[in-house]
Amino acid sequence: MPEVPPESNRPAPPERSAVVASPQPVCAACGGPRDPRKREACSDKCRTELSRRRRQDALRARDDEIRALLATALKKLEEGAL
């Protein structure tokens, strides 16, 4: 088995929203340089920050969904009132 450079077998990052064409992997939380062997974040602190953001994003998406459903419900009510 020939030696494999460590970068070739690391899993692809699940999201690459910040910098797409950067040769250097960056931390998804602070945008700083990240160790390629670490996933997404450069430190525990940034990893915590990332999971916090994800939770907030999930909550926000849920709020948007509820808002859209309520708007639809209101529209239905208004239609019925005519």
Q: In the complex, which residues of this chain contact Zn ion (CB under 5 A)?
A: 27, 29-30, 42, 46
Residues 46, 33 contacting (CB under 8 angstroms): no
Torsion-angle region of 40 (φ positive above 0: left; ψ -120 to 50: alpha; else: beta)? left
Taking the complex as a whole, the smallest distance from the CB of residue 66 to Zn ion amounts, in Å, to: 32
Residue closer to Zn ion, measured from CB, 36 or 69: 36
Residue closer to Zn ion, measured from CB, 10 or 62: 10
Torsion-angle region of 31 (φ positive above 0: left; ψ -120 to 50: alpha; else: beta)? left
Structure tokens at 77: 């009510």
Taking the complex as a whole, the smallest distance from the CB of residue 30 to Zn ion amounts, in Å, to: 3
Residue closer to Zn ion, measured from CB, 48 or 56: 48
